[in-house]
Amino acid sequence: MRVFVPRDAGALAVGADEVVAALRDAAKQRDIAIEIVRNGSRGLYWLEPMVELSAPEGRIAFGPVTRGEVAGLLDAMLTNGPHPLRLGRAEDIPWLERQTRLTFARCGVVDPISLDDYRAHGGSVGLQRALSLGPQATVEEIVQSGLRGRGGAGFPTGTKWRTVAQTQAPRKYIVCNADEGDSGTFADRMIMEGDPFALIEGMTIAGIAVGATKGYVYIRSEYPHAIAAMNAALTVARRGGLIGDKVAGSSYAFDIEVRAGAGAYVCGEETSLLESLEGKRGLVRAKPPLPAHRGLFGRPTVINNVLSLASIPAILERGAAFYREFGMGRSRGTMPIQLAGNVRHGGLFETAFGVTLGELVDDIGGGTLTGSPVRAVQVGGPLGAYFPPALFDTPFDYEAFAARGGLIGHGGIVVFDDRIDMAKQARFAFAFCALESCGKCTPCRIGSTRGVEVVDRIIADRDRAQNLTLLEDLCNTMKFGSLCALGGFTPYPVLSALAHFPEDFGAAPKGAASTRLQAAE
Amino acid sequence: MQDREETHEAWSAARTAEIVVEHRGTEGPLLPILQAIQRRFGCVPESAVPVIAEALNLSRAEVHGVVTFYHDFKSAPPGRRVLKLCRAEACQAAGGEALAARAEASLGVASGGTTADRRVTLEPVYCLGLCATAPSAMLDGRVVGRLDQERLDTLITEARR
């Protein structure tokens, strides 16, 4: 009997290891040979731990499974018979079936440390195509695909690659930004734990395309399982010839090393991350020079998010034209969207750009877990705006969100019900910025602390009009005067909370900040 | 991914120097060195700074600056068990703040503190990436999601044991 139980941290957090132990015990008692594959998660977290049985008709899913239900479950699985937790074939579950999984095609399906399984599911086809295309055509393929940086900034990935490829240097680097610090996001973690070879292959293709021989994956220390999974996969990849002196038997050399972060949110900013990799304080660098010209150790460096790099193999496998057919406007391809917080059906939903926020929250997410009405959602992490249901017609698209004073960031959506106090959330945005500011620029370092104080005064209804004007002024200073997105984007959650939920800030709003933001919509 | 309490050695200059030598061949070795030191001694004590600085040909100020920049590096060892509660937005949305207050009351320490018997250190963490099964926590290396009062109390009992 072949069974799948995820080793994804999200599944472990709700008892996957206990389920595995119980399965082994129950199988032993019944004297049944059982093979348990520890796959990644398919991303339907309300059904985790989700156990899958390999059956003639496909993989039959059961979930959410608790330790106590395992014995009965095993008996049902033995006969492939009915069970209350039986969900049918995994890929037929509507939540999964309506997705377009390109980047996450293998996540939750394959054994993450089996290179054979990876290859059996289309892995390394993209690398082979890159090798036959050659570096220049590979870069152009990525340019043509329209892929934009999935970390949040949305900068065209192909343009970055082209710049590095055209810069002459004795040594170049590929750096993968796996410092996924935004609350409400976990897609990077899922890929690293569920399909690490996709990331390894993507980085390898990047290395060949731009002429780099060394790659680093900078993973936040809050992700010990992802660090372990990536290291295990790198060992297998090296042994299997996917990376090393002769990449897939070619004349190209490329190797990858994992580095752990040390608990600094700002290191998710690319130049701060490079400083950290160099062994320094994670101070943000002024740009220019761009990392593509002078990046890690002063060398030309491609620095991309996990999702950008993990999308590369699929783009090369299926072709740029195929990929760019998905999406809307200048947002091409698919986006792995993460539904989180107080949401009934939380998890990873990969779909073409263009789906509306309302579809995501109400329909796909199923509203709140508590059953209370949705009052606000924060899209794009701690630096993203809070949107009320009145803005749920906003399509998931870089430009559409920007036009409404928001951002899609790394694709996380945190759902809040009607118990949320938006003034508190605005205060938290400033407090978090103060805690995590690298300290290099004044607007962020000092503005964040002053921001907490101003919000406190508004909540206390002290000199309200003056403080609202001051808040707007402070937010403008931070937005236009900060060196990076930490100070520059902290105004988004603050001003959106004030604009859309003025009643939480004490008296009815008469301040300039709220009217101006509303006028901008 | 240690599941149980970690055992730490008393700090020694010789052992610190050994760790530095082990990492000298790597590019940008300072963070890996500090991480290795903290794994072994439970913290990066002030006395380690000159040893590292000299071996890497850096100023003490530079090393001190790096040690103090990152939240992970501690100047004194934590309690026997470290309980991290996620305090970021997704966990806030799922009732995490009330649970954090409950943990503080139950352990009798503020977030960031260690119980008087040095058994448990309670720390905030800003996102464990378990946002679809919020609120979440990590006891040493073990992750716990869908936290509620009962699950939190069980976790605290275990941490205190």
Q: Could you tell me the two tokens for A357?
A: 């926020």
CA closest to A281 among chain B residues:
B66
Cβ contact B126–A184 (<8 Å): no
The owner of tokens 């192909």 is A158
Secondary structure element (H or E) that encloses residue B69, with its range: helix B60-69
**pLDDT of residue A493 exceeding 60:** yes
> pLDDT exceeding 90 applies to what percent of chain B?
94
Say how far apart CA A34 and CA A3 lie, in whole Å: 7
Which pairing describes strands A331-332 and A386-387: parallel, antiparallel, or unpaired?
A: unpaired
Give tens-digit pLDDT for A206-257. 999 999 999 999 999 999 999 999 999 999 999 999 999 999 999 999 999 9
Q: How many CB pairs under 8 A join A and B?
A: 154
Give the per-residue pLDDT at B83.
98
How sure is the predictor about B7, in pLDDT bands with cuts at 50, 70 and 90?
Answer: confident
Give tens-digit pLDDT for A435-449. 999 999 999 999 999
Give tens-digit pLDDT for A181-197. 999 999 999 999 999 99
CB-based contacts of A84, cutoff 8 Å, min separation 6 = none
Give the per-residue pLDDT at A507.
60
Give tens-digit pLDDT for A376-396. 999 999 999 999 999 999 999
Cβ contact B93–A420 (<8 Å): yes
**pLDDT of residue B4 exceeding 70:** no
One-letter-per-residue 3-state SS of A286-347: CCCCCCCCCCHHHCCEEEEEHHHHHHHHHHHHHCHHHHHCCEECCEECEEEEEEEECCCCCE
Residue A429: CA count within 13 A, CB half-sphere: 32
Say how far apart CA A98 and CA A3 lie, in whole Å: 25
Cβ contact A48–B133 (<8 Å): yes
Give tens-digit pLDDT for A344-379. 999 999 999 999 999 999 999 999 999 999 999 999
How sure is the predictor about A510, in pLDDT bands with cuts at 50, 70 and 90?
Answer: very low
Cβ contact B90–A341 (<8 Å): yes
Å between A321 CA and nearest CA of chain B: 33
Residue type present at position B45 = P
Average model confidence (pLDDT) for chain B? 95
> pLDDT exceeding 90 applies to what percent of chain A?
96
**pLDDT of residue B96 exceeding 70:** yes
**pLDDT of residue A513 exceeding 50:** no
Cβ contact A186–B130 (<8 Å): yes
Give the per-residue pLDDT at A518.
40
Say how far apart CA A505 and CA B132 lie, in whole Å: 29
Strand partners of residue A88: A61
CA closest to B73 among chain A residues:
A262
Which region, left, alpha or beta, applies to residue A403 given φ > 0 means left and ψ of -120 to 50 means alpha? alpha
Å between A160 CA and nearest CA of chain B: 24
Q: Chain B residues with CB inside 8 Å of A342's CB?
A: 93-94, 134
In 3D space, the residue among A308, A405, A408 whose CA is nearest the CA of residue A356 turns out to be: A408
Which pairing describes strands B142-144 and B137-139: parallel, antiparallel, or unpaired?
A: antiparallel
Q: Chain B residues with CB inside 8 Å of A378's CB?
A: 89
Overall fold of domain B81-160: Glutaredoxin (3.40.30)
Average model confidence (pLDDT) for chain A? 96
CA closest to B88 among chain A residues:
A183
Å between B107 CA and nearest CA of chain A: 22
Give tens-digit pLDDT for A94-130. 999 999 999 999 999 999 999 999 999 999 999 999 9
Average pLDDT over residues A288-296: 97
- CA torsion sign, A77 to A81 to A82 to A87? positive
CA closest to B69 among chain A residues:
A281
In 3D space, the residue among A161, A164, A239, A243 whose CA is nearest the CA of residue A199 turns out to be: A243
Residue type present at position A310 = A
CB B133 within 8 A of CB A454: no
Say how far apart CA A157 and CA A332 lie, in whole Å: 12
**pLDDT of residue B2 exceeding 60:** no
CA closest to A369 among chain B residues:
B94
* Cα distance from N-terminal residue to C-terminal residue, chain A: 57
Which pairing describes strands A334-341 and A412-417: parallel, antiparallel, or unpaired?
A: parallel
Residue A43: CA count within 13 A, CB half-sphere: 32
Å between A420 CA and nearest CA of chain B: 7
Average pLDDT over residues A256-268: 98
Of B1, B27, B144, the CB nearest to A297: B27
Query: How far is Cα of residue A290 from the mean position of the Cα atoms in its chain?
Result: 23
Cβ contact B129–A276 (<8 Å): no
Give tens-digit pLDDT for B106-134. 999 999 999 999 999 999 999 999 999 99
Residues 133-162 of A with CB under 8 A from B: none
Phi, psi (deg, nearest 5) at residue A391: -105, 20
Cβ contact A343–B144 (<8 Å): no
Give tens-digit pLDDT for A431-486. 999 999 999 999 999 999 999 999 999 999 999 999 999 999 999 999 999 999 99
Cβ contact B129–A180 (<8 Å): yes
Cβ contact B28–A277 (<8 Å): yes
Q: Which of B35, B127, B155 to mutate to test binding with chain A, by most A CBs within 10 Å of its CB?
A: B127
**pLDDT of residue A515 exceeding 70:** no
Residue A146: CA count within 13 A, CB half-sphere: 18
Of A183, A264, A416, the CB nearest to B71: A264
Q: Which of B2, B24, B26, B31 to mutate to test binding with chain A, by most A CBs within 10 Å of its CB?
A: B31
Strand partners of residue A386: A378
Query: How far is Cα of residue B154 from the mean position of the Cα atoms in its chain?
Result: 21
In 3D space, the residue among B109, B88, B48 whose CA is nearest the CA of residue A220 turns out to be: B88
Which region, left, alpha or beta, applies to residue A108 given φ > 0 means left and ψ of -120 to 50 means alpha? left
Give the per-residue pLDDT at A506.
80
**pLDDT of residue B39 exceeding 50:** yes
Say how far apart CA A300 and CA A247 lie, in whole Å: 21
Cβ contact A414–B126 (<8 Å): no
CB A426 within 8 A of CB A383: no
Q: Is the backbone peptide bond immediately before A170 cis, with ω within 30 degrees of 0?
A: no
Residues 183-222 of A with CB under 8 A from B: 183-186, 188-189, 221-222
Q: Chain A residues with CB inside 8 Å of B70's CB?
A: 261-264, 282
Q: Could you tell me the two tokens for A85?
A: 């937790």
Of B29, B70, B132, the CB nearest to A263: B70
pTM to 2 decimal places? 0.96
The owner of tokens 């057919």 is A325
In 3D space, the residue among A133, A418, A279, A495 whose CA is nearest the CA of residue B31 turns out to be: A279
CA closest to B145 among chain A residues:
A13
Å between B115 CA and nearest CA of chain A: 23
Give the per-residue pLDDT at A196.
98
Give the per-residue pLDDT at B6.
60
Residue type present at position A497 = A
Cβ contact A280–B133 (<8 Å): no
- Classify burial at B60, counting beta carbons within 10 Å of its beta carbon; exposed 0-12, middle 13-18, buried 19 or more: middle
Residues 79-118 of A with CB under 8 A from B: none
Say how far apart CA A466 and CA A258 lie, in whole Å: 50
Structural domains in chain A, sorted by start: 2-93 (3.40.30.10), 115-324 (3.40.50.11540), 327-417 (3.10.20.600), 422-519 (1.20.1440.230)
Average pLDDT over residues A302-316: 98
Q: Chain A residues with CB inside 8 Å of B138's CB?
A: 222
Domain locations in chain B as residue ranges? 13-69, 81-160
Q: Chain A residues with CB inside 8 Å of B96's CB?
A: none
Å between B67 CA and nearest CA of chain A: 8
CB A27 within 8 A of CB A71: no
* Cα distance from N-terminal residue to C-terminal residue, chain B: 20
